[in-house]
Amino acid sequence: MRAGRYDAIVMAASSGGIDALRIVLGALDARLRAPVLIVQHTASENGHALCELFAAASVIPVIEAEPRQPIVGGCAYLAPPGYHLLVEAGPRAALSVDDKVCHVRPSADVLFESAADVWRSALIGVVLTGANDDGAAGMLAIRSRKGLGIVQLPDEAEMREMPEAALRLAGADHVLRLAAIGPLLNQLCG
């Protein structure tokens, strides 16, 4: 596990995710080289408020992804409510209103699979708490490309289904408590 091998991080969280993401993002270092792309399932239509919530907890800027926006290291991009977030070569962000995947939009599978196509083995996927199985197929895509998979310890997760589904389908390189995830990302992408 060499530091500097990874160029980007994608993260998925659903119910219980806001608190979980605040902990993980809060632990990230300002020197993080990699961009962080995030899907958080939410019923709210206000992605802006969600960004502010995360930004308040974190030293790295957190913004809502816009179509065509260049993705740069050290920034976190949140999928806007109601839109899938995808990654295009560049890397640039793209949005879509295609059908829901796993009953959700944005879907982590959509983000993870498109990111795996762009970053291949240099991608880290993180699946956190949630009550569905979104992110599992995406994690499989990442790990089949030899990227790194990190899953929140199901026993610690507010909702264990999502981490468990990822572990069942794709396995993981690390199964960790929230408090340990940020520090590991700093180490891998510092």
Partner 1 sequence: MHTSDRHDIEIDLFRRALMLRHGYDFTGYAPASFKRRVLALQAAVQAPTVSRLTERLLHEDGFVRTVIGRLSVPVSEMFRDPSVFRALREDVMPVLATWPQINIWQAGCAHGEEVYSLAIVLRECGLYERAHIFATDFSEEALARAEEGIYPLHEARAYSDNYLRAGGTGSLSDWYVARYNRIKLDESLRKRVTFARHNLVSDGVFGEMQLIVCRNVLIYFGDDLQERALGLFRDSLVHGGFLCLGNRESLAYSAMADDFERLSEETAIYRRGIRARRTI
Contact residue for partner 1 among 24, 87, 150, 189 (CB under 8 A):
87
Residue 24 lies near partner 1 (rule: CB under 8 A): no
Residue 169 lies near partner 1 (rule: CB under 8 A): no
Residues 39-58 that bind partner 1 (CB under 8 A): none
- To partner 1, the closest distance from the beta carbon of 149 in angstroms equals 16
Q: Which CB, 4 or 70, lies closer to partner 1?
A: 70
The residues, ordered by sequence, that sit 6+ positions from 93 with a Cβ below 8 Å of its Cβ are 37, 65, 66, 67, 68, 69, 71, 77, 85, 86, 87
Closest CA to 14 of 44, 48, 39: 39
- To partner 1, the closest distance from the beta carbon of 78 in angstroms equals 13
d(CA 65, CA 136): 22
The residues, ordered by sequence, that sit 6+ positions from 27 with a Cβ below 8 Å of its Cβ are 179, 181, 182, 183, 185, 186
Residues that bind partner 1 in the complex, under the rule CB under 8 A: 66-68, 80, 83-84, 86-89, 94-99, 110, 113-114, 116-117, 141, 144-145
